[in-house]
Structures are given as structure tokens and as C-alpha cells.
Structure 1
Amino acid sequence: MKADTDPATARQAGPGAAPLGVFDSGLGGLTVVRALRAVLPHEDIVYLGDTARVPYGTRGAATVVKYAGACARQLVSHRVKTIVIACNTVSAVAPEQLRIDLDLPVLGVIEPGARAAVAATKTGRVGILATPGTIFSQAYTRAVTTLSTRTEVFGQAAPLLVPLAEEGWIEGEVPRLAVRRYLEPLARAGVDAIVLGCTHYPLFFSLIEEEAHAMMGPDVRVIDSATTVAAETRSFLASRGLLAPPRERAGTMRLFATDVPRSFSEMARRFLGDEQIPEAEQIDL
């Protein structure tokens, strides 16, 4: 089930035949992969989870850029046609540098989420649940205000959700109490749209939506960053003539992890809802 990354084969079949590259600090980016597979079922995907250095959200910007560069270069070695950064922390600080260094299309998750939030809000008050690094970068504030100067952005760091997701604690009283605590400041701010500004957070989508509706009313919108970036990735590939060519088979997947690949594979099957995905391969960046 390994993606065909041979450059000669890719050239013969056209640029669309090359795989998509996706990376994240760990497992959370698999929410983006799941969304990509839903809208781009024929695309081959190479995914890298930097599980040895997760989480990125508590790291400084320079460290995140360095880690992101190592991940992206590994994906480039597999002849990917486009890189999707399935990490809000990296999307906040590294895309432009990666585009310069790699001379390759690099898509992040900040702008798609910002556009969805501006479209969803009726009160002009948008909340962002994200890691401390993403909140501190103010990347969502810049992206939203670029689109709408009348929209206010209220950021709330939710650092506990990443390790809970990595441990598989996505249900029960522990994540519920954490979600409730993180939503309280956004409820006081009167937001009516909440962006899940970390690709780990869609794993808690139902829980966050339930608590948000209980605290803020049924009209509050919770925006899944994974589905928004998947939709924009499809549009981007179509506009550049980079969609996978029509074929009968579904796209393949290749998984890499920088630590504990067996555990990674087990969690990946749970997150993707697919028992047929390949075993993760361990690499050293």
C-alpha cells in the first residue's frame, strides 16, 4: 500500500500523479488526512507525524520553524507535489519560509479557518481555541482582520487537549472538564463562532460543540479546521491542474513517525476509521 513516489513514473503520468505530503507534530494531523481522503479519494498521501518532539505548541517560533523544515524536507524526498501543514502552530510561523526554502506549494490551516469564521459569525465576535504558540503568534487575529476589520478575535489557549488526544482520551469526564474550562472565557466574550485552531481538536468536536451549545446557546458555530483545509486543498489542486488522474483505485497512504511507530499505527487506525492502513515506518529527522 505504499505510494508510488518514483520521479520517472510521476513525470510520465503527469504532475497530478505525485502524492500529497502532510505533516504534523503527532497524531492530530490525521484529522486533516481523514478530511482529505473524504474529498480527494484518489490522492496518494504521505504523512509524517513528528511524535518524538510533540507537542509543538509550547515551543518557541525559531524551534518550530527548524522542526517544520526537517519534516518538510523529508516529505520532499518522496517527490510530493504539494505540502499540507496539518498543524496550526507551524502554519502560524513557518509557511513562507518553507515556500522559499522548498520552491513547492505549501498550504496551511490558518487562512481556511479564518475565512470560515468570518463567514459564520453574525455578531462579529470570533473565538479561537488553539495551542499557546498559535495564540501567542496572533496568526488568526491577523488572518481574520485582513478579511474583516469589523470582526473581533478572542483567543483561548487549550494546551491540555493535545496530550489528551495523543493519549486517546477523547471522551469522558476529564476532557469534558477541560473543554468546559477553556470555553468559559469565550462564553463571557459573547462569541458566536469558534475555530478549532489545532488539528488535534477536531477529535473533540462533538464534545466541544455540546458544551458550547450548553454555555452559549444553539446558534454558536464550531468550525472544524480539518474540513476547511481539505476543501481548500481540493480547490487549490484543481486550480493548478494537480488533481490525481481518474483511476479506479482509491489513493494509497504511507505513514511515517519519528517515535513509537507501532503505537502510532494503532491510534491512526482509530482516528481514520480504517483498519487497512499500513504500518507506520519510523524515521529519524
Structure 2
Amino acid sequence: MDNRPIGFLDSGVGGLTVVRELMRQLPHEQVVYIGDSARAPYGPRPAEQIKTYTWELVNFLRKQDVKMIVLACNTATAVVWEDIKSQLDIPVIGVIMPGASAAIKATRTGKIGIIGTPMTVQSDIYREKITSLAPQSQVESLACPAFVPIVESNQMNSPLAKKAVYETLAPLVGQVDTLILGCTHYPLLRPIIQNVMGQEVALVDSGAESVRDISVLLNYFGINRDPRQPAQGHRFYTTGGADSFAHIAGNWLPDVPFTVNHIDLVASLDEVTV
């Protein structure tokens, strides 16, 4: 047993979609989460900047003495997951491979769509992973730069959100039978995305799929939290506004005990380096 928390990082609030699934599957685990809302979205940023920001989030989580780190951000996973995984002595989970595997299982025709941030789409990592496992697959990728700002500004149910999703996804409508939500913010827009794509299209939540990998590794390394221990509140940190973050978290994680604090990320880092 290992009663230390699991660390989650994301460019903002999107990783809460992964936390929600973790709490459903592994309710005894405790979460420490850092969302970099002040610098979101990561998708349009250059790769080197994404690397720098992600390492800052990782080092913050290391100071919290976490037993595992989950990159609950497709962009960060695409750019820097391999590097981080190779340099840390605790398990590091990304969200891309679980999503790719789930899409291969879900598709009926082999026609798979991927929506993500510009950097995730530019990396072409989903297509590479899918075609390496299922070479016959036909993969279409589409960048959706408007989606993350809509979620971060808590406008998921607004006319603006409906218009942006409808216009952005038009090229994929009728072209695929399975669609990977290749950004952990996108499940917060899921009802609109499903309505635009059609009920017959299977939506794959890459973040939620990664929780199965988390569970496997907790068991493999024997680091599950002891369920006999008293429940611990979850600690959420944001580089943006704590009130806005707490409002979204409260809607997405009802009846879950948590605290939210604003954090000056750079000022909070000391000599923790790799």
C-alpha cells in the first residue's frame, strides 16, 4: 500500500474529466491536481514552451510527494511524456495511447476521427499510434483551437459553444464512425459534439480511458491507497482564478470534497530539478 496522492497536471480545467473517472473507478485514491489556466491553451504554443511549462507542473507535483503523475493533457503528452517518463522514478501516465487503443476497439469501419489542439494534431501522434496497431485504419485529424478557451471561460452551454462546435466539426460529419476527443477539455463539450456528429458516432474520451492504465499500474507496483484509511480531501491548484476553477470543479465533481487554491507556479518552485 502507498497512501500518497496521485498527481494530475493539465493546461487548465480539462483534466478534471480524468479525475472524475478516477474517482468513479478508484474512489479511495487521493488527488493533487495542478491546472495551468493562466497560460492555457497549450495547443497553439511552440513545443519548447510546452516542455518548459509541463516540467514546471511536474516539479510542483513532485514537491507534493505524489506516487504517480498523470499527464491529463494530450498536448503535453504528445510533446514531453517520453522525456518525463524516462527521467522520473515514479510511474508517469499519458492519455494518448489509451485513447488510440479504445478507438480501434470501438470502430466498425476503421474510419476514425481525431479532434485536438493544434499541437496535438500537428504531432500526428494519434495517427501514428493507431496505424501502428491497426494499419488498415483510415484516420482523419482536425484541430479545434476554439474549444479550450470556451471551456476555460465556462461557456460550455452557450450559443457560442454550439456555433463553434458545429462550424469546426463540419468537415468530419458523415466521414467517421468513431471520434477521439483528443483533449481532456473536450468531454465538457460532449453533448454538443455528439449532437453535431450524430448519435451513431462513438465518442472516445482519451482521458477516461487512461484511468484503466492508472489502475493497472497501481496494482502492478502495489501502490494502491489503503481503503481502510480515512478519506482525504482532494487538493486542486490553479494558476488562474480559484473561484472560476472551483465553480467548474463543483459542477463536474458534485459531492466530492476538495479545496482549490491559486498558485504562483514559478514562485512556488525551489531547487527541485531533474
TM over 0.5: yes
State which of 78, 86, 93 in structure 2 corresponds to 1:92: 78
Establish whether residue 205 from structure 1 lines up as the match of residue 190 from structure 2: yes
**Cα distance between partner residues in 1 of 2:134 and 2:234:** 38
Asked if structure 2 preserves the Cα contact closer than 8 Å seen for 1:22 and 1:85, the reply is yes
1:169 is paired with a residue whose SS is coil
Task: Report matched runs for 1:74-89 at 5 Å.
Answer: 74-89=60-75
| Consecutive aligned runs of 4 or more in structure 1 exceeding 3 Å deviation | 248-251
Pairwise CA distance, 1:100: 2.4
1:269 is aligned with what amino acid?
A: G
Q: CA deviation at 1:133?
A: 0.7
Separation in 2, partners of 1:276, 1:182? 36
Aligned to 1:3: none
Q: Check if 1:128 corresponds to 2:114.
A: yes
Q: 1:195 aligns with which of 177, 180, 188?
A: 180
Contact 2:130 2:137 in 1 (8 A): yes
Alignment CA distance shift 1:219-1:266 (3 Å): closer
How many angstroms does 1:274 deviate by?
A: 3.6
Q: What SS does the corresponding residue of 2:265 show, helix, strand or coil?
A: coil
- Counterpart of 1:114? 100
1:48 aligned onto 2:34: yes
Q: For the residues of structure 1 that align with 2:18 and 2:156, how far apart are their CA atoms?
A: 17
Q: Considering only aligned residues, what root-mean-square deviation do their CA atoms show, in Å?
A: 1.6
Select which of 88, 98, 102 maps to 1:102.
88
Q: How many Å apart are 1:275 and its aligned residue?
A: 6.5
**Residue 169 of structure 1 corresponds to which residue in structure 2?**
155
Measure how far apart 1:41 and its partner are. Answer: 0.5
Tell me how far apart the structure 2 counterparts of residues 219 and 170 of structure 1 sit (CA, whole Å): 22
**What's the offset of the Cα at 1:180?**
1.5
Q: Does 1:235 align with 2:206?
A: no
Could you state the TM-score of these two structures normalised by the residue count of structure 1? 0.89
Name the CA distance, whole Å, in 2 between partners of 1:184 and 1:251: 44
Cα separation, 1, equivalents of 2:172 and 2:182: 14
Q: Is the 8 A contact 2:238 2:260 kept in 1?
A: no
1:179 is aligned, of 145, 161, 165, to: 165
SS at match of 2:140: strand
Q: Aligned partners of 2:24, 2:218: CA distance in 1, in Å?
A: 15
Q: Distance in 1 between matches of 2:216 and 2:191?
A: 27
Taking the aligned partners of 1:249 and 1:36, their CA distance within structure 2 comes to 18
> CA offset at residue 103 of structure 1?
2.5
User: 1:130-162: CA deviations, max 9, x gaps?
Assistant: 111100010101111121111121101111110
| Conserved 8 A contact 2:173-2:196 | no
Against the structure 1 CA distance between its residues 145 and 177, is the aligned structure 2 distance closer, same or farther, given a 3 Å change threshold?
same
Match in the other structure for 2:13: 27
1:205–1:224 Cα contact (<8 Å) kept: no
Whichever residue aligns with residue 89 of structure 1, its letter is T
Amino acid at match of 2:162: R
- Is residue 60 from structure 1 mapped to residue 46 from structure 2 by the alignment? yes
Shift of 1:269: 1.5
CA distance in 2, matches of 1:275, 1:83: 21
The correspondence of residues 268-283 of structure 1 with structure 2, limited to 5 A, is 268-274=249-255, 276-283=257-264
| Distance 1:250-1:153 versus aligned 2 partners, 3 A rule | farther
Cα gap change, 1:150/1:50 in structure 2, threshold over 3 Å: closer, same or farther? same
Q: Aligned partners of 2:79, 2:122: CA distance in 1, in Å?
A: 11
TM-aligned CA deviation for residue 195 of structure 1: 0.5
Percent identity between matched residues is 39
Aligned residues: 266
Task: Kindly state the Cα deviation for residue 208 of structure 1 after the two structures are TM-superposed.
Answer: 0.9
Worse-superposed segment, 122-131 or 265-274:
265-274
CA-to-aligned-CA distance 1:37-94 (integer Å, 9 cap, x gap): 1111010110001122111011111111111111001101111111000100001111
Deviations 1:223-255 (A, max 9, x none): 122321122211221222121112264443111
User: Structure 1: how far apart are the matches of 2:3 and 2:256?
Assistant: 25
Moved more, 130-139 or 222-231: 222-231
The alpha-carbon deviation at position 196 of structure 1 amounts to 0.4
Q: In structure 2, the residue corresponding to 1:126 is in which secondary structure?
A: strand
